[in-house]
Amino acid sequence: MAGICPVQAVPEKNRLMSPLEEKLGHEFADKELLKRALTHSSAGPASYERLEFLGDRILSFVIADMLFTAFKNEEEGALAKRHSTLVKQGALEKVACALCVSDHMHYANQKPTKSMMADVVEALIAALYLDGGFAVAEKFIRSHWEELIRVADLPPEDAKSALQEWAQARGLPLPVYKVLERSGPDHDPIFVIEAKVSDYPSQQAQSKSKQAAQKLAARSLIDYLRTTHG
């Protein structure tokens, strides 16, 4: 996620704006609000966590509105799948990368993780809303998510649902997910999950949560089954 981001020259008329504010498209009247949106709890009590909560809700609403307008003929289920993908960590990571968020964060004891940087993007959305109003936050979201919406011709597929439908269509028992291994400390665990359908070869995957590992294993298995068994 973290990379080398060239610092662009700041126009004379915007000489008080920081490089990050340039990318956000807003000069903050409350600089402390911007700082808080970039501060992890390891660096002090005034962290981005409360802002993250608010930003998540603002993002969800704007994305729902964008999808409702962009895909006029899609049913609620398809829109919900698109929405779920666009507000998840993967999409937030892409925006965090574009903003070079890790270069601006305040933290201690550890380097920013992908999850932390995704959280900061949500906090920044809330900060934009509180400092500049809804229109400012909405403009930021639309500018960074418009391309993510445009490139998805079809609604994203939920791997676990697809695997279940594949099994049911063939009169097979429902997929079974088994925890093969759990390692790491309680605050940062790693789960290894096996996905299996009937007597077909199983597939494994690992992630920091059971649910994420199940989805990855299901994706691997459904891809294998479709390739080898149609």
Please list the active-site residues.
56, 122
Q: How far apart, in whole angstroms, are the C-alpha atoms of residue 101 and residue 23?
A: 10
pLDDT in tens, 82-113: 998 899 999 999 999 999 999 999 988 778 89
b (16+ CB within 10 A) / e for 152-174: eeebeebbbebbbebbeeeeeee
119, 39 Cβ separation under 8 angstroms: no
Of the pLDDT bands very low, low, confident and very high (cuts 50, 70, 90), residue 9 is: very low
Residue 54 tokens read as 């608010």
Of the pLDDT bands very low, low, confident and very high (cuts 50, 70, 90), residue 1 is: very low
pLDDT in tens, 105-153: 998 877 889 999 999 999 999 999 999 999 999 999 999 999 999 887 6
- Model pLDDT, residue 39: 95
Q: How far apart, in whole angstroms, are the C-alpha atoms of residue 112 and residue 220?
A: 29
Residue 56 vs residue 41, higher pLDDT: 56
Q: CA geometry: angle at 1 spanning 209 and 151, to 5°?
A: 85
- Model pLDDT, residue 153: 64
- Model pLDDT, residue 73: 87
Q: How far apart, in whole angstroms, are the C-alpha atoms of residue 32 and residue 14?
A: 19
pLDDT in tens, 57-67: 999 999 999 99
Q: What is the mean pLDDT of the chain?
A: 89
Q: Which helix (H) or strand (E) holds 42?
A: none
Provide DSSP, 99-165: HTGGGT-B-SSSPPPHHHHHHHHHHHHHHHHHHH-HHHHHHHHHHHHHHHHHT--SPPPPHHHHHHH
Domains defined along the chain, listed by start: 17-150 (1.10.1520.10), 159-229 (3.30.160.20)
Residue 7: how many other CB atoms lie within 10 Å: 9
- Model pLDDT, residue 43: 85
- Model pLDDT, residue 185: 87
11, 111 Cβ separation under 8 angstroms: no
DSSP label at residue 48:
S
Read off the pTM: 0.67
Of the pLDDT bands very low, low, confident and very high (cuts 50, 70, 90), residue 154 is: low
Closest CA to 40 of 109, 107, 100: 107
Of the pLDDT bands very low, low, confident and very high (cuts 50, 70, 90), residue 44 is: confident
- Span 143-172, average pLDDT: 86
Would the pLDDT of 187 be above 80?
A: yes
